[in-house]
Structure 1
Amino acid sequence: MLKELRREFGLIFLIPKNIYLPLSVFGIIFLIFLILDFDESLTYGSSFIASFITIFIISENTFKEDYANGYIEQKLCENDNLVFYLLAKYLANLILVYVPMTLLAYLINGFSNEYLLELFFAYLIMLSTLSFFFNLGSAISIKRNNSLNALLIIPLLIPFIILVEEIFVAGKLIPNLNFLMAYFVFATSFINYAIIQILKIQSK
C-alpha cells in the first residue's frame, strides 16, 4: 500500500499540471458562473457544475498511462491487489486535488457558517463520489482512447445530482447527508469493484 501511495504521489508531483490544471479548470469555470451574477443559491449549483466538468476532464487519464505502459497488466500478472492501486490513486487525488478544490470553492463562494464542517465534508464526499463514477467510465473507454464511454455513466448520476441539488442549492443538508454517504459507500464498494473487473478484462 505504501509503495502504491509513493508511486501515485510521485507521479502527480512529477507532472505538476496534474495539480494545477484541475484547480485552474475548476476556478475558471466557477468564476465564469460568478461573473454571470447568479443569486447565492445558484452559485452553489455553479460550484457543482464546475466540479462535475473538472472531474470529468481529469478522470479521462486516470488509467490511460498505466494501461499504455503495461503497469496494470504487470500488477495482474503478479497477482497484486488492485484495491490498493485504486485506493492509492484516490488518496493522492483527495489530498492534492479534491481538498484544494473544496478550499477554493469555500474561498470563492463560502459555506454556511452554521454547518461549515458538515458542508466541507459533504463537498469532499461529493467530489469523491463523482470521481469513482467517472473512473468507471475511464476504465470502460481505456482501449478506445476517448472519453465518450464516460458519458454513459452520467445517467447513473441523476439521483446523485438531485441529491446534491437538495444539499447545496435547497440547503437541506442534515436530512440528505446520510443519503450522500450511502451513495459514497455504494461508489466506494460496488463501483470500484466494477472498475477492477473491467480493468482485468481490458488487460487480457
Structure 2
Amino acid sequence: MRLLDYTLKCSIVWANEFEPIELTCLIESISTNNPRIEWKKIKNGVPSYVYFQNKIAGDLENRAQLREPANILIFNATRSDTAEYRCEVAAIDDQRDFDEILISLAVRVKPVVPRCSVPEAVTVGTSTELRCLENEGFPAPQYRWFHNNEELPQDPKNSAKFANSSYSINPDTGGLKFRRVRKEDAGEYYCQAKNDAGHAQCPTQIMEVCE
C-alpha cells in the first residue's frame, strides 16, 4: 500500500490590494502520480470552486494560476478575495486518501481620502470638535491630526509646545476635541488616515479663533 504524506495546516494570510499573493497547499511527499487537487473559496459560509478539473474557475478565472505542486497564485488580490480558501487533495490509491488545508485570506485595502469637518470659526474658551472619517480602508485605519503641518501629539501633556492645550484625539474614530479653545489653536488643520496598506489625508482647512 503506497502512502500519501501531507504537511497541511490552517493559517491566516494577509495581502495588499492589487498585489500578488500565493496560497500554499504544501505536500511534502506523495506516492500517487496524479492526485486530484481542488480549491474552494468559502464566503459567508458558501463554498464555490476556484480550481476544479485542472483549471482555474469562478472568482479567480483569468486572475490566477496553479503553481506546482498545488499552490494558487493570485496575480492581483482584490478586497472581494477576502475569504476562506480550502485546498482539497485526494489520492484514492494511497492509504491516506484525502486531506485538506484551510487558509483565511485577508486583503488589506489602502484608505481613501478621508472626509474632514473643521469649524471655520470658534470663540476663545468654548469647546469644539474636528471630525475625520474614512470607510474604505481595511483594517480600519488609525487617525492622526496635523496643525500648521505639524503632527499633534496623542497626549498634549507629553509635548512642551502643546502642554497647555486642552485637546484630545481619538485615533480610532478620528475625533479631535478641544475642551477650551485658545488663540494658539487657530490655523490650518488636516487629518491623515493610515493602516498597513497605506495612508491618505484630507485637504487642509482653516479654523479661526475669535475673542
TM superposition score normalised by structure 1: 0.24
Query: Which structure has the higher relative contact order (CA within 8 Å, separation 6+)?
Result: 1
Determine which structure has the larger helix proportion and give its number: 1
